[in-house]
Amino acid sequence: MHHISKRASALTASAAALALILSGCSAGGSGGGQQASANKTLVVDNTFDLKTSDPARAFELTGSIVDKALYETALTFEGSDVTKPVPQLTTYSMSDDDKTITLTLDGKHVFSSGNPVTIDDIVWSYKRVQGIAGNPSFLLSNLSTGKPFTIEKTSDTTMTISDTVANPALPYILPNPSLGVLDSKTLEENGGTTDKDDKAESYLNGKSAGSGPYQLSSYNATSKVVFVKNPEYTGTAPKYGRVVLQNVTGPSQKTDVQGGQAQLALNLNSQQVNGLESGSIKVAKTTSANVGYLWLNQNEQVSGGVTNDPDFVKAVRHAIDYEALRTVAGSGSTQPGGIVPSQFLGALESDENNTTDAAAAKSDLASSGYAEQTVTLSYPTDATLDGVSFADMAQSVQSNLQDAGITVKLNGLPIATLLDSFRAGKLQAGLMYWGPDFPDPSDYLTFSPGEGLGLRAGWTESMSPEVTKAKEAAIAAEGDARAAAYQAWQKASNADGAFVPLVQAARYAVTNGVTGVTPNAIWTVDLASIE
């Protein structure tokens, strides 16, 4: 039987050789990024949180990248600068009382269908955002009262958006890709309406209907979105005729960009980019606008009589080693002085209440009624702060607090479970983050007593009248006075509040052979600017 086993061995060897030859030939043939570049195909790796490409329904990070490429907005931001809205489809002017913004169409833009962009399209698109009541509909409502803005066409080239109270944030809201302007004629032919009966989502997930630099070629929310150039685009034509945005995990993103499979990787953390820069591989580093924070529940029934003690809160603020948290968050991270991110109007550079001071922590703890109770610190196990593990941050905080004499029990939860309990105000303490809805400090007033986030931490208006007063002053402030007013509100919150701003992590964009990658706090990256 010896000859039989020889034959079997040969078969095995042949099978293995065939597989390797086959894959080897193809790998050589594809040539990774080189051939992609020759065919003007740009490959971008991203860890998807995509749900839809319909701008009126999308409010996820990946959705913003997609919609920024497909749709233009009335106003936009230039590059990374989110402090100054600039015209895109329209110019704008604010009324003296800051209640109304008037948009004036420039009349130069055309949808991929060939239809011109009209003021009716903008009004229709905004009313659709409001009418659908989807994730981003709050953008066109007053955040405190929930009352929708009034949207009116005032002429063939002008329209107004009005709030019932002064709202200087209006121009900062409009560049959001969720407010991308749709071709209303095309959409109405495909089930689009401005109310809950709208049926155009499936159409938009197959074909786009915008005037942006790209149009949709293929779309799969789980794996891949392919864009091709919009021939009707009136702006500077993008350098790449085709873009593939694909869903790839962090470790594979690193291998992809190193191997030339992708030209841009968007979700690598500080450990993964360490030592990566060499040759054509560049690492662009910016500070993320996502703020990681700690909350201490002020509701006596949830706090166990511990986390609602003002001296205990002070002790926690001084016990935390913010420098250690920055180390955990990686090079390029920063400690915000308040809850408003460091790059936004009204950001606080630092605050003495949130500084590491072991002696002050022990003294404050001694003044409090803390009697060695165990504090439960919850954190999400399946979400990160721009790639930084909340578990690592929680362990760092636990260690700091234990050094100060506070016993902490860690409670890692899936984010869906944590959010459920947090939103119900049932968690004693924990770590979470807030990403900006729009780059204006008014977005952060939810961290006030009696407001949405405040109530999750059991923080009612009557508990901190000084903070409420500072919040009202910030809302009333106009023009240049706004920055100082928001800083005063954050100082008041730090002195007597339920939230401790901890860290803004670094965000990395790793490129291989491309330039023009400009990180942006609202849409992460503009695919059309990549060269």
Partner 1 sequence: MRYLAIRLGLSAVLLVGVTIITFVLTNLVPGDPITAALGERAAGDPKIVAAYREAQGLDKPPVVQYFVYLGNLLHGDLGTSIGTRNPVVQDLAYAFPATAELAVFAILVAVVIGLTLALVAALRRNRLSDQLIRAVSVVGISVPTFWLAVAAYFLFFFVLHWTPGSGRLSAFYDAPPRVTGLFTVDALLAGQPDVAGDALAHLVLPGMVLAVYTLGLLVRFARSSILDVLNQDYVRAARAKGLPGRRVITAYLLRGALLPILTIVGLAFGSLLSGAVLTEQVFAWGGIGQYAYRASTALDLPSIMGVGLIVGAVYITVNFVIDVVYGFVDPRVRVG
Q: Does 227 bind partner 1 (CB under 8 A)?
A: no
Q: Does 266 bind partner 1 (CB under 8 A)?
A: no
Closer residue to partner 1 (CB): 52 or 307: 52
Closest CA to 242 of 223, 216, 212: 216
Select the span of 199-207, 307-315, 332-340, 468-476 touching partner 1 (CB under 8 A): 199-207
Distances (CA, A) of 82 to 7, 77, 175, 180: 69, 6, 9, 17
Q: Does 375 bind partner 1 (CB under 8 A)?
A: no
Among 153, 185, 207, 224, binds partner 1 (CB under 8 A): 224
Among 176, 247, 270, 396, binds partner 1 (CB under 8 A): 247
The answer to whether residues 178 and 59 touch, using CB atoms and an 8 Å cutoff, is: yes
In this structure, the number of other CB atoms found within 10 A of the CB of residue 369 comes to 10
Residues 120-139 touching partner 1, rule: CB under 8 A, are 133-138
H-helix segments, 322-443:
322-329, 358-367, 390-403, 415-423
Backbone angles phi, psi at 23, to 5 degrees: -70, -35
| Packing angle of the helix pair 310-319, 358-367 (nearest 10 deg) | 160
Select the span of 92-100, 244-252, 326-334, 344-352 touching partner 1 (CB under 8 A): 244-252
Q: Is 495 strand, coil or helix?
A: helix
Backbone angles phi, psi at 482, to 5 degrees: -60, -45
The answer to whether residues 153 and 194 touch, using CB atoms and an 8 Å cutoff, is: no
Q: Does 202 bind partner 1 (CB under 8 A)?
A: yes
Min separation Cβ 157 and partner 1, Å: 32
Site string for partner 1, 391-430 (x = CB under 8 A): -----------------------xxxxxxx--x-------
Min separation Cβ 229 and partner 1, Å: 15
Query: Per DSSP, which regions of 118-256 are E strands?
Result: 150-153, 158-162, 214-220, 224-229, 242-247
d(CA 146, CA 139): 10
- Look up tokens 């400690």; give the residue: 335
Min separation Cβ 80 and partner 1, Å: 23
Question: By rule CB under 8 A, what count of residues binds partner 1?
Answer: 81
Min separation Cβ 142 and partner 1, Å: 12
Q: Does 363 bind partner 1 (CB under 8 A)?
A: no
Distances (CA, A) of 276 to 180, 225, 257, 268, 406: 36, 27, 10, 10, 40
Select the span of 85-93, 217-225, 349-357, 494-502 touching partner 1 (CB under 8 A): 217-225
Residues 19-48 touching partner 1, rule: CB under 8 A, are 19-20, 22-30, 32, 35-36, 39, 41, 43, 48
Among 67, 163, 256, 440, binds partner 1 (CB under 8 A): 256
Q: Does 165 bind partner 1 (CB under 8 A)?
A: no
332: left (phi over 0), alpha (psi -120 to 50) or beta: left
DSSP one-letter string for 365-394 = HHHS---SPEEEEEEESS-EETTEEHHHHH
Among 79, 107, 231, 259, binds partner 1 (CB under 8 A): 259
Among 124, 293, 434, 499, binds partner 1 (CB under 8 A): 434
Among 158, 162, 258, 363, binds partner 1 (CB under 8 A): 258
In total, the chain counts a number of residues equal to 531
Closer residue to partner 1 (CB): 369 or 452: 452
β partners of residue 220: 224
The answer to whether residues 350 and 337 touch, using CB atoms and an 8 Å cutoff, is: yes
Site string for partner 1, 74-113 (x = CB under 8 A): ----------------------------------------
Residue 497: CB partners within 8 Å, gap ≥ 6?
Answer: 313, 447, 449, 459, 464, 467
Closer residue to partner 1 (CB): 36 or 506: 36
User: What type of residue is 53?
Assistant: S
Site string for partner 1, 450-489 (x = CB under 8 A): --x-------------------------------------
User: What type of residue is 240?
Assistant: Y
Q: Does 51 bind partner 1 (CB under 8 A)?
A: yes
Select the span of 249-257, 276-284, 485-493, 515-523 touching partner 1 (CB under 8 A): 249-257
Select the span of 56-64, 231-239, 306-314, 472-480 touching partner 1 (CB under 8 A): 56-64
Among 157, 217, 411, 529, binds partner 1 (CB under 8 A): 217
Closer residue to partner 1 (CB): 16 or 481: 16
